[in-house]
Amino acid sequence: MAAFRGPKVWLWRWRRNPLRRRSDVLEAWIILAAWGFTLLGGAVTGLVTVRAVEDALARERAESHTVPARLIEDAPNAGAGEPAGRVVWTRVHWTAPDGTSCSGQVRVSAGTSADTPVLVWTDPDGRLVTRPPTVAVARLRACLIGVFVGGGLAAVPFAAGRSLRGRLERRRVDRWDEEWERIGPLWGRMTS
């Protein structure tokens, strides 16, 4: 059977009341601060993270470019039972912007013969890089990272607020126990 608690009163901890304790006011400020830092800190951190990741990915897109390359060796054929159109690693050769000869490994379709031209992604120094994400993929990646970072940071003040409230509640219960031990025996004498 549920006990009747009465109507909830908005901001009851700040109202003037002879039964209001200092711990009630402290708890109210802790709750307010924890929720404020949780919501505001999480949102701001998430938005700053989104912006930083988007900028980094845009810089990566701007600095990366394609360069023609040629396969040095034949790409291995797909084996029996393997799906057609399989992609394998093989060695390629290209020329860096400063004219030096470079080689590395890229993924190409299985069975591609040597000396076949392919396009590879390089950085300004001519080193191989992965293909940069498109604007839509970069935005999605930035938003997901922002949500995780913002949510992770928001968990800190929320958990701290919950912990402080738990300590206040334990202290309140301990004080109730002390008062009850002091007052409880007096009740038995009054009823006889």
| Rounded Cα–Cα distance for residues 122 and 115 (Å) | 19
- Nearest C-alpha neighbor of 150 from the set 53, 76, 72: 53
pLDDT at position 127 over 60: yes
Which contiguous run of DSSP H or E holds residue 87? strand 87-95
Residue range 130-136: mean pLDDT, rounded: 93
Render the burial of 84-110: b for 16+ CB within 10 Å, e for the rest: eeeebebebebeeeeeeebeeebebeb
pLDDT digit string, tens, across residues 42-54: 999 999 999 999 9
Which contiguous run of DSSP H or E holds residue 163? helix 135-191
Q: Are 158 and 34 in contact (CB under 8 A)?
A: yes
Q: Is the pTM of this model over 0.85?
A: no
| Rounded Cα–Cα distance for residues 19 and 13 (Å) | 10
User: What's the pLDDT at 158?
Assistant: 93
